Amino acid sequence: MYLIFDTETTGLPRSWSAPITDTDNWPRCIQIAWQLHDEMGNLIEHQDYLVKPEGFNIPYDAERIHGISTELAMEQGILLSEVLEKFNIALSKAKFIVGQNVGFDVNIMGCEFHRMNIGSDMTKMPVLDTCTEITANLLKLPGGRGGRFKLPTLTELHQYLFNQPFAEAHNATADVEATTRCFLELIKREVFTKEELDVTPEYFRSFREKNLGEIQLIGLKHINLKQASDEIRARLKKIEQEEVQTTISEEVKSDLKDAAFAHLHNHTQFSVLQSTIAINDLVKASAKFKMPAVAMTDTGNMMGAFHFVSAVLNHNKTAESKNKELVENGEEPTETVIKPIVGCEFNICDDHKDKTKKDNGYQVVLLAKNKNGYHNLAKMSSIAYTDGFYYVPRIDRKIVEQYKEDIIVLSGNLYGEIPSKILNVGESQAEEALIWWKDQFGFDFYLELMRHKQEDENRVNQTLIAFAKKHNVKLIATNNTYYVNKEDANAHDILLCVKDGEKQATPIGRGRGYRYGMPNQEYYFKSGDEMKQLFADLPEAIINIQEIIDKTEPYSLYRDVLLPKFKIPDEFEVEEDKLDGGVRGENAYLKHLTMEGAKKRYGEITPDIQERLDFELLTISNSGYPGYFLIVQDFIAEARKMDVSVGPGRGSAAGSAVAYCLGITNIDPIKYDLLFERFLNPDRVSMPDIDIDFDDEGRGRVMDYVINKYGSNQVAQIITYGKMATKSAIRDTARVLDLPLFEADRIAKLIPGMMPSKWNLARFLAEDESEVKKALRSEEFDRVKELIEIANSEDLAGETIQQAKVLEGSMRNTGIHACGVIITPDD
């Protein structure tokens, strides 16, 4: 006897190798169907059941695949214990378990038997699978792992065997019927061996004689599960609407009208190849819509924080000046002062140090209340890259607990922990996650509602609203912003294709033959009025935004130069330095080293030499940076001890006699009459700048010395940013839009080799021809004029230029500066 069975479940396991006793890992069975056939293929029985979900719900993403809703399963399902009892009886009649990728279904049912503490011999029974390397070699479909053929889906196998598609996938009854047909056909073709079937060679001849024609489906009528779910949901919703009449008072409507809106979930170009928003454009858009604040929440990093805060503060300075002028003239102020809110969308996984498996975690937004909160965000971001990077920068809950002070948390988008668990795991698990976040952050934790006109968001929002009421957590309305204007959606989609190396013609979706992309064009920087209209039925989600704005403090990220503390000998220590942070001891030690070096360099110290050294030492002392010279001379001296080649000195530092005496340079500025004032000007105090050259092979050893001396947490290399230049933007866009290579090359060559200052592609297309002509040489103007003509055409070349102008200047990649190193006083 062959028992062919299939299940539909609440999702997929986190680990496919976990034992069936790991009940948290294996999803729940919500439908099971089986057919029992004798050895000649005759149908003995067929059964199918929906399982009543007890203590769990069916996530939306699972429902979207098989159509079985929690409401349908509750109304038409039977108890799991009854299902298992009936299934055990069927198993007792069978010799083999059969299925398509049946190992998954065996684990699902094995775990259900374990949960209910019901014994079963299922896991001990021999298994026949229609999805193996044998059937893969039969179909010879490319794309398998390690150069092998891919394992066939049930649809692909059915198409191959019977030359007709199988359209009812993801309904257990239909899947079992099709799997049975394929299985019996594989027996007929002797794909399964006599050893696998435990039969004699004559079996196959007898089987073919009993099944002369083409193996047929048994003709079951399959319920349209999605339609049934929709009908039940519509009926229940109608009842609910009749029972609950929600009205919004005029007072609340007035509060909503007067409420300030600010976007708290924005990605900039520092979310590399994920957003087209330049920081200045983000600030301009906020000012345009009169928003009192704006947040920057790039994915996994805070690279743009300084630029963002600086841009907002510069805007505020201009706005305040203009408002002051208007008030003085008896007019009303018109400019909006904006509060910058620094945040980060972190990837929070189970264990950020575990790199044995891919775990990108959940995307959760953390906002800094103040500068201390900013420092905590920065620490978490650094840990995400230095310790947690595996595919993406990651942290875990322990890190969040460690650095949670002065942090506000938003629950995030559909990839956030709570929304994702609602969609993919279950509401009870999502509720557990909510409780953890609320326990950690209290009233600084907010549930984030998004309305991008997506069904999955609508389903998540229903649950989030219920959670908010149950757990007294406030709701916040956000828009997951990746581009400023709605019309930039296509350019943003092109950017995503650039990131993934895809063509835009490839359809958006999951799996082979599809690419990543946004589901619609709603991810733009909406106005406050648009957001209020979207959340007119939930005014508190808008009104609560002011509470977050009020909790945050404005601050600047500008700061004085910080130098690491250089350890000087005890005899040069000065007690007063410990009290007032002075550098008397460092000045004294620097003078000592300089004079000792002068004796070696000059032998006899003449009055002229002494006067020059005294002047330089006084200037260095007045600048407040003696430690800088001590640090530089220390690692240069160490480099020479390690036989690392050190350059003789270049740039203005060669004019310093102190640098010469310390061994920093090997050029005598007194002999060659070089000016110290070009290096450090007594009338204009600034940070010294000494260019140092080490040979390529020895540079790493010097770096190791610095790291060991000051600590790995206090030494970092400098990041570099690669941006899309005009020609790069055109070539990337052309590749994504599938513009022929020769066309892309021709357009790129129309761009001037050296772009005029403050000009770019967008300005060429926007300015009057006369202004363009003034900025270019005659031969360049002719080429740019041709470029403009192409851009104004309605063909693919014109579309390429129009989209490239949006992408121009976008961050394309990051790198590490070849030489730049930062040493800090502490971490």
Q: What is the mean pLDDT of residues 552-559?
A: 91
pLDDT of 84: 95
Mind listing the pLDDT tens digit for each residue in 19-78? 999 998 999 999 999 999 999 999 999 999 999 999 899 998 898 888 899 999 999 999
Query: Is residue 498 a part of any domain in this protein?
Result: no
Q: Do 700 and 790 share a domain, yes or no?
A: no
| Three-state SS annotation for 463-487 | HHHHHHHHHCCEEEEECCECECCHH
pLDDT over threshold 80, residue 252: no
Q: Do 220 and 336 share a domain, yes or no?
A: no
DSSP string spanning 567-625? ---GGG--HHHHHH---HHHHHHHHHHHHHHHHHHHSS--HHHHHHHHHHHHHHHHHT-
Q: Where are the beta strands (DSSP E) in 641-749?
A: 715-723
**Element containing residue 552 per DSSP (H, E):** none
pLDDT of 647: 86
Q: Are 351 and 358 in contact (CB under 8 A)?
A: no
Q: Are 23 and 111 in contact (CB under 8 A)?
A: yes
Pairing of strands 715-723, 811-823: antiparallel
The pair phi, psi for residue 688, each rounded to 5°, is: -65, 155
Pairing of strands 362-368, 407-410: antiparallel
Q: Do 621 and 730 share a domain, yes or no?
A: no
Q: Do 391 and 257 share a domain, yes or no?
A: yes
Q: Do 21 and 162 share a domain, yes or no?
A: yes
Mind listing the pLDDT tens digit for each residue in 558-586? 887 778 888 889 888 888 878 887 888 98
Instruction: Tell me how long the chain is.
Output: 827
Q: Do 292 and 425 share a domain, yes or no?
A: yes
Q: Do 173 and 288 share a domain, yes or no?
A: no
> In the listed set 228, 263, 296, which residue is the last one of a domain according to the structure?
228
CA separation, residue 720 to residues 253, 279, 429, 626, 814 (Å): 49, 17, 41, 29, 6
More confident residue, 158 or 213: 158
Q: Are 249 and 280 in contact (CB under 8 A)?
A: no
Query: Is residue 826 a part of any domain in this protein?
Result: no
> In the listed set 682, 716, 750, which residue is the last one of a domain according to the structure?
716
List beta partners, residue 477: 449
Q: How many CB atoms lie within 10 A of CB 793?
A: 12
Cα distance between residue 762 and residue 755, in whole Å: 12
DSSP annotation of 79: -
Q: Are 760 and 808 in contact (CB under 8 A)?
A: yes
Residue 219: which of 389, 358, 384, 35 has the closest Cα? 35
Q: Do 224 and 254 share a domain, yes or no?
A: no
Residue 10: which of 340, 365, 377, 426 has the closest Cα? 426
pLDDT of 244: 47
168 band by pLDDT with thresholds 50, 70 and 90: low
Mind listing the pLDDT tens digit for each residue in 762-774? 888 888 888 888 8
In terms of C-beta density within 10 A (0-12 exposed, 13-18 middle, 19 or more buried), how is residue 810 classed? buried
Q: Are 624 and 560 in contact (CB under 8 A)?
A: no
Query: Is residue 825 a part of any domain in this protein?
Result: no
Which of 109-118, 177-186, 563-572 is predicted with the least confidence, judged by mean pLDDT? 563-572
Cα distance between residue 538 and residue 476, in whole Å: 10
* Contacts of residue 794, Cβ cutoff 8 Å, sequence gap at least 6: none
Cα distance between residue 22 and residue 8, in whole Å: 19
Cα distance between residue 499 and residue 484, in whole Å: 19
Q: Label residues 430-455 b or e (16+ Cβ within 10 Å = b).
A: bbebbebbbeebeebbbbbbbbbebe
Which of 295-309, 440-454, 713-727 is predicted with the least confidence, judged by mean pLDDT? 713-727
Cα distance between residue 289 and residue 336, in whole Å: 9
Residue 632: which of 680, 572, 549, 692 has the closest Cα? 692
pLDDT of 397: 96
242 band by pLDDT with thresholds 50, 70 and 90: low
Q: Label residues 515-526 b or e (16+ Cβ within 10 Å = b).
A: bebbeebbbbbb
Query: Is residue 233 a part of any domain in this protein?
Result: no
Write down the H helix ranges in 19-79: 60-66, 70-76
Give the amino acid at 375: H
Query: Is residue 312 a part of any domain in this protein?
Result: yes
Cα distance between residue 202 and residue 590, in whole Å: 99
519 band by pLDDT with thresholds 50, 70 and 90: very high
3-state secondary structure of 672: coil
Which residue range(s) make up the domain with 700? 570-716
760 band by pLDDT with thresholds 50, 70 and 90: confident
**Element containing residue 533 per DSSP (H, E):** helix 528-534
The pair phi, psi for residue 92, each rounded to 5°, is: -65, -20
CATH number at residue 442: 3.20.20.140
3-state secondary structure of 666: coil
pLDDT of 758: 84
* Contacts of residue 558, Cβ cutoff 8 Å, sequence gap at least 6: 310
**Element containing residue 658 per DSSP (H, E):** helix 657-662
Q: Are 294 and 342 in contact (CB under 8 A)?
A: no
Mind listing the pLDDT tens digit for each residue in 715-757? 888 899 999 999 999 999 999 999 999 999 999 999 888 888 8
For helices 172-188 and 202-210, angle between their N-to-C axes, nearest 10 degrees: 120
Cα distance between residue 644 and residue 660, in whole Å: 18
Q: Are 60 and 423 in contact (CB under 8 A)?
A: yes
Cα distance between residue 150 and residue 170, in whole Å: 20
Q: Do 166 and 254 share a domain, yes or no?
A: no
No. of helices (H) and no. of strands (E), the chain:
34, 14
Q: Are 605 and 668 in contact (CB under 8 A)?
A: no
List beta partners, residue 295: 341
Residue 393: which of 298, 266, 502, 501 has the closest Cα? 298
Query: Is residue 558 a part of any domain in this protein?
Result: no
pLDDT over threshold 80, residue 170: no
Cα distance between residue 452 and residue 458, in whole Å: 9
Q: Do 546 and 575 share a domain, yes or no?
A: no
pLDDT of 147: 81
Residue 377: which of 399, 351, 349 has the closest Cα? 399
Query: Is residue 561 a part of any domain in this protein?
Result: no
Cα distance between residue 721 and residue 820, in whole Å: 14
Pairing of strands 127-129, 293-299: unpaired
Write down the H helix ranges in 22-79: 60-66, 70-76
CATH number at residue 793: 1.10.10.1600
Q: What is the mean pLDDT of residues 381-390?
A: 94
Q: What is the mean pLDDT of residues 318-330?
A: 92
pLDDT > 90: percent of the chain:
64
239 band by pLDDT with thresholds 50, 70 and 90: low
CA separation, residue 645 to residues 131, 413, 664, 699, 771 (Å): 63, 53, 12, 9, 52
Q: Are 51 and 73 in contact (CB under 8 A)?
A: yes
pLDDT over threshold 60, residue 226: yes
Residue 438: which of 404, 478, 479 has the closest Cα? 404
pLDDT of 131: 93
Pairing of strands 407-410, 445-450: parallel
Q: Do 296 and 440 share a domain, yes or no?
A: yes
Cα distance between residue 14 and residue 447, in whole Å: 25
For helices 305-328 and 279-288, angle between their N-to-C axes, nearest 10 degrees: 40
Question: What integer best gives the mean pLDDT of the chain?
Answer: 90
Q: Are 585 and 573 in contact (CB under 8 A)?
A: yes
Q: Are 449 and 477 in contact (CB under 8 A)?
A: yes
246 band by pLDDT with thresholds 50, 70 and 90: low
> In the listed set 683, 716, 749, which residue is the last one of a domain according to the structure?
716
Cα distance between residue 821 and residue 827, in whole Å: 15
pLDDT of 711: 87
In terms of C-beta density within 10 A (0-12 exposed, 13-18 middle, 19 or more buried), how is residue 112 classed? buried
- The domain total for the chain is 4
- Cα torsion through 19, 23, 26, 29, rounded to 10: 130
Q: Do 320 and 306 share a domain, yes or no?
A: yes
Query: Is residue 324 a part of any domain in this protein?
Result: yes
| Tokens 């684990």, located at residue | 107
DSSP annotation of 270: T
CA 607 remoteness from chain centre: 64
Cα distance between residue 376 and residue 357, in whole Å: 27
Cα distance between residue 319 and residue 317, in whole Å: 6
Cα distance between residue 175 and residue 196, in whole Å: 23
